[in-house]
Amino acid sequence: MTGMNNKAIILLSGGLDSITTLALAQQQGYHCYALSFDYGQRHHAELIAASRIAQDYRVIDHKIIKIGLGAIGGSALTDADIAVPETAQVGIPVTYVPARNTLFLSFALGWAEVLGLTDIFIGVNAVDYSGYPDCRPEFIEAFERLANLATKAGVEGQRFCIHTPLIALSKAEIIKLGHSLGVDYQNTVSCYSADPQGRACGVCDACRLRKAGFMQAGINDTTRYQKN
């Protein structure tokens, strides 16, 4: 079911999950706006990928908003002094960016109010999610309640909906879904240590999940890797 005006905002990182979410939203009949963030991430190449995806999928508008999360640090993705781990982590890993999805959804919510739409898509995943607390269904449900309490549109009777179509899927299931929608994953960037050309390191958490996903899906992995 599409929303009341058939339009939606898609949070677009430039990675595997977000391109699949965009393709699925379009397949469901939504005309899409895309929202990306330059938040001081070391894998800046994902924004080049996001711009390319937005063009390829002919979104209505694509905004890249700059928020300086490097100023507070606290994550291997925003602080050059914290190394991206090359082995699996126990608990919440150092690649967790404090409150990132809360901030991203808040910007999306503000833009949704301006555009007069009520549907927001985010490609969070609670199965292969590396232990991030802001990828869980409980968080999404809580944010949706907040969205409808804290906005003029919500108070006046519009109903915001945060769509998480990938939340219960494994990485292999996401890849199979994208493959069925004709998604080309070659130029997407998932790697936390991607080089300026967007080539993946092959050893970080994100790369391991992605590699295993293609293998389990039985689909050829066209990811571009750095030559070590």
- Name the residue ranges covered by the structural domains of the chain: 7-217
Average pLDDT of the segment spanning 41-51 = 92
Are 120 and 162 in contact, with CB atoms under 8 Å apart? yes
* Integer Cα distance of 204 and 209 in angstroms: 9
The confidence score (pLDDT) of residue 43 equals: 81
**pLDDT over threshold 90, residue 15:** yes
Mean pLDDT confidence for 48-67: 97
Q: In this structure, are residues 146 and 187 in contact, taking their beta carbons and an 8 Å threshold? A: no
On whether the CB atoms of residues 65 and 40 are closer than 8 A, the answer is: no
The pTM (predicted TM-score) of the whole model is 0.94
**7-217 CATH:** 3.40.50.620
Residues in Cβ contact with 54 at an 8 Å cutoff, skipping those fewer than 6 apart: 12, 34, 36, 62
User: Amino acid identity, residue 69?
Assistant: L
Residue 192 φ/ψ region, left for φ over 0, alpha for ψ in the -120 to 50 degree band, beta for the rest: alpha
pLDDT at 3: 46
DSSP 85: P
Does the pLDDT at position 123 exceed 50? yes
User: Where on the phi/psi map is residue 28: left (φ > 0), alpha (ψ -120 to 50), or beta?
Assistant: alpha
| 1 pLDDT higher than 80 | no
Q: 1-13 burial by CB neighbour count: b if 16+ within 10 A, else e?
A: eebeeebbbbbbb
Q: What percent of the chain clears pLDDT 90, i.e. is strictly above it?
A: 77
Q: 130-172 pLDDT, tens per residue?
A: 678 999 999 999 999 999 999 999 999 999 999 999 999 999 9
pLDDT, average across residues 98-113:
96
- pLDDT, position 2: 55
What is the percent of the chain with per-residue pLDDT over 70, rounded to a whole number? Answer: 96
